[in-house]
Structure 1
Amino acid sequence: MNKILIGLLVIVLGFVVFGNFLSNDQDGGAKWIGIGILILTFVVMPLFLYSRFRNKATRDRMFNFDLKKIKEPENQ
């Protein structure tokens, strides 16, 4: 999964760099940058989150306010 994510990240960076290169000469550069950002947002980010949290319990991902409360000292 890590190799897929790295490959997709290289592709996204390629789109953005190619778009920046084209934006200096023509008007089509913004389209390539947009495609790269869309792939990053809707493909790479969900795959990354899935790979990070696939073997974790739901309780580990949730913020629990009960565990984070500051306890009062017992001697006061």
Structure 2
Amino acid sequence: MIRQKGTRKGDLLQFNIPRKESITENNLIIPPSMGGALPINFQVIGNNNAVTIGDFVLLANEVILHGEIMTVIGQ
């Protein structure tokens, strides 16, 4: 469940979920508006179906776990 308010644009529902911790590069904080958040979009395609797409902002120690989870889901 997404516990974030989305924005509706036609048949598209958009979420931009900030991470709890700050994302930094070379000791500079990257704000959510510059790619430090998780954008997720849902679009209705009919018959109670939807297409979704999103990007993940991961810390180095999360990359392997994320890859393993996505591999299991894709099987």
Query: Does the pair score TM above 0.5?
Result: no
Bigger RCO of structures 1 and 2 (CA < 8 A, at least 6 apart):
1
Q: Which has the larger radius of gyration?
A: 1
Question: Greater strand share, 1 or 2?
Answer: 2
Q: TM-score, normalised by structure 2?
A: 0.25
